[in-house]
Structures are given as structure tokens and as C-alpha cells.
Amino acid sequence: MSKILIVDDEVQIRTLLARMMELEGYEVCQAGDCRAALRQLEVQSPDVALCDVFLPDGNGVDLVLSIKKAAPNVEVILLTAHGNIPDGVQAIKNGAFDYITKGDDNNKIIPLISRAVEKAAMNVRLEKLEKKVGRTYSFDSILGESKSLKDAVSLAQKVAVTDVPVLLTGETGTGKEVFAQAIHYSSKRARQNFVAVNCSSFSKELLESEMFGHKAGSFTGALKDKKGLFEEANNGTIFLDEIGEMAFELQAKLLRILETGEYIKIGDTKPTRVNVRIIAATNRNLPEEIAKGRFREDLFYRLSVFQVHLPPLRERAGDIRLLAKAFVKNFSAQLARSITEITPDFLTTLELQPWKGNIRELRNVIERSLIVCEGARLDITDLPLDIQNAHYEQSDEETPGSFELSAMERRHIARVLEYTKGNKTEAARLLKIGLTTLYRKIEEYKI
């Protein structure tokens, strides 16, 4: 049940308004002055405050500021016997939901209260969503205990509170977009848009249109004006992934934005101004690209005011177990699976992999393993065949058993199954054995 706080020094008016609110199904609390209103705000936690303008110890217009400071989600409606435009304007500036005159606007109170209650409920939902987003994309969401990762996080945290451009470097799959989001949501721009664009996903012409927008009629198919991603990110952050893939001609436009905050849309004659923080990322060696004439040196120096290098997963071997367990937990919820045990062999095998695709590859392997797992226990047999083979080959190399015929047979069957992408009928045909025999050997060798 929504709660309404009525603030008025006249008891009869408070009683009348309270009765009206109660008949509409609202819970009501009352206060006769500003001080009592702030006490009730703390004790009762109302959704909407209905306040008189003239109170014994203050002014309702000023009280709006105090209420919004103490409880930002509470909506305030001001009532006055003698309405005037300056007070109304100032009330709205202070954060009031509306400003109405007593008597003349009595028939408006109930619908107005209803809208204010809806707005207050939306405020609460947005606050919860912002907190959830903040937790999801905060630096706390970046898992790892290795020194190289902690150093990268420390640098990113320091630059997050500033407005300078950031260049994130590192191999594919190391989590550059995760870092970009954490920087954005830890900055003063956190309530504004975070817009991500992969520069390698578009042709030069399409990327220019997507990033900067165009005017109607500027080219065939441009039927109406289009806002670019820089406009969408105005006052927020734009993340330019794979910046090393951007066409050389577009780099000049990006440099102009960094230097002046302005650019010209396709087909336009006047500049568009934006206030955008730029975070760029690349897995390329940009100094080498500059030497080959594929990347502008002046743009590199503007983008790399602050560089953060993200270490590859092979340099964070101690973090693999932590990441794997986190992915298992997340995918268990998404796939409605109940995984109660992860075997030591499963985790050890993960730690021995080179992970050329880094965290992204590990994440995909864990998701695939949960899909094929038939019980509540994740074991090495749930891993992709190539990872299993690498594990057993490495194990075999270290034991005299590698010379046994059974060990060789197991490796051969596993390779054939990998070649047929798990098609057992085709594997049995290539091996020239019966399908029943193949199933028995798969069970015997735990392939």
C-alpha cells in the first residue's frame, strides 16, 4: 500500500485530505510543520508528500529541497491558498512533482496523487536497476587475484574518475569491454549512456554513418536524418572496440572530435557538438600500424593519454579456477542446471590449457560443458574432445602406460570422434568396427 505524507499546519485541512487519501486506499501520515515532516519522512518512508507552502517554521518551496535531499525517490506536491508563478517555477526547479492551488484544484488532487505514486514507484525501480547495473559492471565484477590483473584494475580505477581518453590493449577475449564498462560506471558519467561499437564489424561507409549519422538525401537510401552513435553517447561514454581496424580516412574525423568535440554528419554543412568520453581498445600493436602507414600517429597520441594493458589468461593461471567456478554458477542459473560438484581433474585440465582465446574461450568451454553434462557433477569427460585429448596425451607422456596398446587405441578413437565432430556412426565406419563396440570402448576409456 502506498503511503502519503500530508504536511499542513491547519488540522482541519490535514484531516480532510487524510480522509480523501484513505478512501482512495492510501496509507496516511501527517505533520504540522517542516521539522515534523522531516521526522515523519525518516520514520514512515512515504511515497508522496502533499505539502502546504506556508508553514510555521518554513516555506514548502524550500522544504522540497530538504525532502529530495533526504529521500530522492519521494515525489512532492505543493498546495497553496494563493498560487503565484515565481513560487511554482521555483518549486519545480527544486524537484517538486507539481504545484497546485487549494480549492480551485481540489478535483485534480486524486489523479495527481495517483500519477505521483506511479512516478515514486518508478524512481524506486530505477534506483534498484542502477544499483544492479552498477554491481554488474563495477570493478568488483572483474574476477582475479593475479598481480598483473590487479595492477590493470588499479590503473583503470584511477583513470575512471577523470574524463581523459583511455586506450585498452590486450589480446582478443581478455575482457576489454568489461573494463570499459567498469570505467564508465565508476565515473561521473555513470547515469548517462554507454555506447559500444566494434569498428571491425562495418565497412568504411557504414561505420561513418553509424558513428556520425547522416542527413536525409545525403546518399541513396538516406530517407531521413539519422543520429549517430556519438550523439547517442552525448554526455556519456563511447567505447570504440578494435580501433586499429578503423579506416584511415575516418581516423581524421575521430581526431577532430577528440580535439574540438565537433564533427560534421554525412551530408551536413554545419558541425554537431558532443561531450563524449572516448575509450578505445585494440589487440593490434598500434605503433607497428603507424610505421606501416595504417594508423594516424596524432590520433594514437590523443587516444593513448592513458593506457591500460590487460594480461592474457595464460599469465593468470591462478585465476582460472576462480573464473571457471564463477562461470559454472552463472550458467547453472541460466540453463536451469544443478551442479553440485566440480571434479579436481576438470579444474586441473582447464589450468593446463593455453587459452589462446583467453576468458572468452574459457567462458564458452564452461557453457558447452554444462550443456553436455548429464548429472550434477562436472568431470573431465564433459569437456570438448580436443581438451580431453590434450589432457590425456600430456598425462600419457609422463607414464610408462603411454606405450600400452590401450592408450594408443584410446587416443586414436578420440581423434576420430573429434574428426567426425562427435558423430559415432561415422566414427565407427571409419574405424571399421561395430557401433556397439565403439560405444563399449567409449565407456571403457571414458572418452
pLDDT at 405: 67
| C-alpha triplet 98, 100, 104: angle, nearest 5° | 155
Mean pLDDT score, 392-402 = 50
Mean pLDDT score, 380-407 = 65
Cα–Cα distance, 185 to 183 (Å, whole number): 6
Q: What is the pLDDT of residues 15-57, one digit of tens each?
A: 989 998 999 999 999 999 999 999 999 999 999 999 998 899 9
- 127: number of Cβ within 10 Å: 12
Q: Where are the beta strands (DSSP E) in 23-173?
A: 27-31, 48-52, 54-55, 58-59, 75-80, 98-101, 166-169
Q: Are 328 and 337 in contact (CB under 8 A)?
A: no
Q: Which of 300, 261, 297 is nearest to 277 (CA)?
A: 261
Contacts of 165 (CB under 8 A, 6+ apart): 258, 277, 278, 279, 280, 302, 303, 304, 305, 306
Decide: helix, strand or coil at residue 368. Answer: helix
Give all domains of the chain, ordered by start, each with its CATH number.
3-133 (3.40.50.2300), 141-311 (3.40.50.300), 315-445 (1.10.8.60)
Contacts of 184 (CB under 8 A, 6+ apart): 137, 160, 190, 194, 236, 237, 239, 277, 279
Q: What is the pLDDT of residues 370-393, one digit of tens each?
A: 998 988 999 988 898 878 876 555
Q: Is the pLDDT score of 418 beyond 50?
A: yes
Cα–Cα distance, 125 to 121 (Å, whole number): 6
Cα–Cα distance, 220 to 374 (Å, whole number): 54
String of b and e for 370-400 (b: at least 16 CB within 10 Å)?
A: beebeeeebbbbbbebebbbbbbeeebeeee
* 263 beta partners: 272
pLDDT at 396: 47
CA separation (Å) from 22 to 2, 36, 145? 10, 21, 56
pLDDT at 104: 57
- 155: number of Cβ within 10 Å: 16
Q: Is the pLDDT score of 399 beyond 50?
A: no
Q: What is the pLDDT of residues 304-331, one digit of tens each?
A: 999 999 999 999 988 999 999 999 999 9
Where does the pLDDT of residue 207 fall: very low under 50, low under 70, confident under 90, or very high at 90 and above?
Answer: very high
Where does the pLDDT of residue 110 fall: very low under 50, low under 70, confident under 90, or very high at 90 and above?
Answer: confident
Q: Which of 186, 175, 183 is nearest to 148 (CA)?
A: 175
Mean pLDDT estimate for the chain: 88
Long-range contacts of 394-398 (CB under 8 A, 24+ apart): 394/352
How would you classify residue 234: left for phi > 0, otherwise alpha for psi between -120 and 50, otherwise beta? Answer: beta
Contacts of 324 (CB under 8 A, 6+ apart): 342, 347, 350, 362, 366
